[in-house]
Structure 1
């Protein structure tokens, strides 16, 4: 049984969905401290000049130590209008613009007040759109107190033991934070899944890899996206 523990990223890149598809339990690490310059409130799509630009959710100011699930969204619609405006770059070039634009509207119009609620809802809706079977739950909703967390990789170990899994997987960026031997001593194998970011036609002279799943969905069929999601190496 495979488990993933990841922070709730804002319309994340395709590798995030590799982890969702290829895990049995996907736990959203929404009790982690919110990082202002991370991927929880923003991501990148293609801009009008062909270079990546950020799309982001507007949030209310909060103390530095605030956990992700307590970060509140700005209730004004201005940031949503800016989001939609930036997506218009796809209107005349992306074959799947109508359905993906509608999906984005459905996600952003969901009546939620927290950033975490928005991100988790979007993850589930995109997974449903792509036909990915998912078992997404939130750490903040688990009725358990983790007392033995002293190092960054202890969270994954504690959650793995809570669910009784034998395999823990993560994105390659987490390699520097995890001690495989620590997990192995507890009977848990650890692997990192590196999605290969297969190039696709973005109607540009070059290819911009690692953009939001929004960009991937704009230019590719669901079947093609599944092929990309499944094209990964195990580290």
Structure 2
């Protein structure tokens, strides 16, 4: 069995994103897809004393968003300092903030790329290092692919010798499952309903926040709160 996951890069994603990376043999960053505004590509949620807060990387958007994720540039070079200051204020009192403080301070203050894809991957790969996730990463832009959505996904699976393709449950509405079946690639959909709660600042508990929340609250025990 060779497990393939294909998804767009997100900024400091939630724990389910890293669970999918941990499950995969090959994880493909779908960076040649169209950038979507007000989406997870350039923002994510953290918990603060006053409630849930968006951290958003400001980006340049052209026309009707007719740009690929890989082409999307940052519009404010000071975003990293701003985000780190907000994170320090939000998580400074968490049980394990000091354990990771130097790591993330260095990561934020030395992230100077102009491109969103490069920034997202820098954070994703750094967090995988903390979680001891050693999955192979690829970028869809490195492949020559078919045009139709499901055919592109299948094409990537076949090029990577995949036997099983894993996707979020929302993909069921557009997946052409028949062509996967005919090609001998099994489609599997994630179930995110089994995550346990952990010690989280500022109740009530919220699952769908950035992985930073889990790391700062649970420290080296964070991996125990993932499924895979």
Q: What does residue range 58-207 of structure 1 map to in structure 2 within 5 Å?
A: 58-63=58-63, 64-77=65-78, 79-87=79-87, 88-92=89-93, 94-108=94-108, 109-140=110-141, 142=142, 144-147=143-146, 149-150=147-148, 152-195=149-192, 196-207=194-205
1:222 Cα deviation (Å)?
2.8
- Using the alignment, how far apart are the partners of 1:71 and 1:6 within structure 2? 17
Deviation digits for residues 158-195 of structure 1 (CA, Å, limit 9, x no counterpart)? 11111121110112232222232321111000101223
- Where in structure 2 are there 5+ consecutive unaligned residues? none
Tell me how far 1:100 sits from its aligned partner: 3.2
Give me the TM-score of the superposition, normalised by structure 1: 0.88
Q: Deviations over 1:28-84 (max 9, x none)?
A: 0000000001100000000221x211011121232411000000113521x223312
Q: How many pairs were matched up?
A: 223
1:22 alignment counterpart: 23
- What SS class does the counterpart of residue 44 from structure 1 fall into? strand
The answer on whether the counterparts of 1:19 and 1:171 sit within 8 Å (CA) in structure 2 is no
1:170/1:102 Cα in 2 relative to 1: closer, same or farther (>3 Å)?
farther
Q: Is the 8 A contact 2:47 2:202 kept in 1?
A: no
Query: What is the CA–CA distance in structure 2 between the aligned matches of 1:56 and 1:205, rounded to whole Å?
Result: 23
Cα contact 2:80–2:111 (8 A) shared by 1: no
Structure 1 SS opposite 2:11? coil
Using the alignment, how far apart are the partners of 1:112 and 1:186 within structure 2? 39
> Is the 2:77–2:112 contact (alpha carbons within 8 Å) kept by the matching residues of 1?
no
Counterpart of 1:5 in structure 2 is 6
- TM-score, structure 2 as length reference: 0.91
Cα distance in 2 for partners of 1:69, 1:17 equals 21
**What SS is found at the alignment partner of 2:59?**
coil
Deviation for aligned residue 1:133 = 1.2
> What stretches of structure 1 of length at least 5 have no aligned partner?
none
Deviation digits for residues 79-113 of structure 1, max 9, x if unmatched? 22331232112112x11112434333333322322
Cα distance, 1:62–1:217 mapped onto 2, change above 3 Å: same
Q: Partner residue of 2:49?
A: 48
Change (3 A) 1:98 1:173: farther
